[in-house]
A and B are shown apart, each in its own frame.
Chain A
Amino acid sequence: GQNIDQPTEMTATEGAIVQINCTYQTSGFNGLFWYQQHAGEAPTFLSYNVLDGLEEKGRFSSFLSRSKGYSYLLLKELQMKDSASYLCAAESNSNYQLIWGAGTKLIIKP
C-alpha cells in the first residue's frame, strides 16, 4: 500500500532548531517534496529531494534516505512566521502523482 506518516503537531521555541520527520511507503518512489502551509492559505513549495542526503536552502534543509523511506525537514533559527503546517509528499514513479501526508502543525513559542 501507499502511506505517508508525519507527526501531527510539534512545538518549538523561537531561535531554536526543529526537525520534522516523514516516513513513506509507496509502490514506486521518485522523489520527496516538502510544502509549507500557513493557516487559511494554500501550500507553497519548500524543497524537493530525489537523491540521498541533505539539501540546504537558507534556514531550511531537507534530508532523504531512499533505502529507509525516510525524510526530514530541518528548520534553524526559528522565527514566529515559521508557525505553519509542513506537508510531506512522496512522488510516485509510476504516474508522478504526489501522495500527501496529513501535515505537521508547527507551533513556535517566544
Chain B
Amino acid sequence: GAGVSQSPSNKVTEKGKDVELRCDPISGHTALYWYRQSLGQGLEFLIYFQGNSAPDKSGLPSDRFSAERTGGSVSTLTIQRTQQEDSAVYLCASSSSGLAGGPQETQYFGPGTRLLVL
C-alpha cells in the first residue's frame, strides 16, 4: 500500500507476557518513529530510526521496551513482561529523510496498534 501500515490493529495480552508490534513505513522513507498515546493524551516519543544510524532510544520508558529496524524498512517494537500501564495506542510514523527541516519532514502516521494489558 501507499501508506504506513501497522499490525496487529488490536492486541489484548495478559500482564507479564511479551508483545511484538510491527510497522511497515512508506517505501523510500528513511526515518521511522514510534510513539505511544494514552487515551486523551498527546504523543509520547519512544524511539527514532534514521537510515543506518544508531537509533535514538531516549524516549523508551524502561528496558522492557526495545525496537529494531531490519534492512532500513520494517520495524518491530517489543515490549517484554507487559504491565497494565503499557496499555495505549502505539503509533508508527515515517518521513522522507529526518535529516533537514522542511515540509519533506512531514511525518505520516500508521493507524496504530491498540494494546490492552489485562
Q: Which residues of A pack against B, CB within 8 Å?
A: 30-31, 33, 41-45, 48, 50, 87, 89, 91, 93, 95-98, 100-103, 105
> A-B pairs with CB below 8 Å: how many?
54
Give the contact-size bracket for chain B: 20 to 34
- Smallest Cβ-Cβ distance to A42: which chain B residue: B109
B43 at the interface (CB under 8 A from A): yes
Which 8 pairs between the two chains have the least Cβ-Cβ distance?
Answer: A30-B101, A102-B42, A42-B109, A100-B43, A45-B106, A48-B103, A100-B42, A43-B109
Contacts of A30 in B (CB 8 A): 101
- Candidates B43, B105, B108, B111; contact of A91 at CB < 8 Å: B105
* Residue contact B111 to A96, C-beta cutoff 8 Å: no
* Residue contact A100 to B45, C-beta cutoff 8 Å: yes
* Residue contact B99 to A96, C-beta cutoff 8 Å: yes
* Residue contact A95 to B56, C-beta cutoff 8 Å: yes
- Smallest Cβ-Cβ distance to A88: which chain B residue: B42
A23 to chain B, nearest CB (A): 15
Contacts of B33 in A (CB 8 A): 97
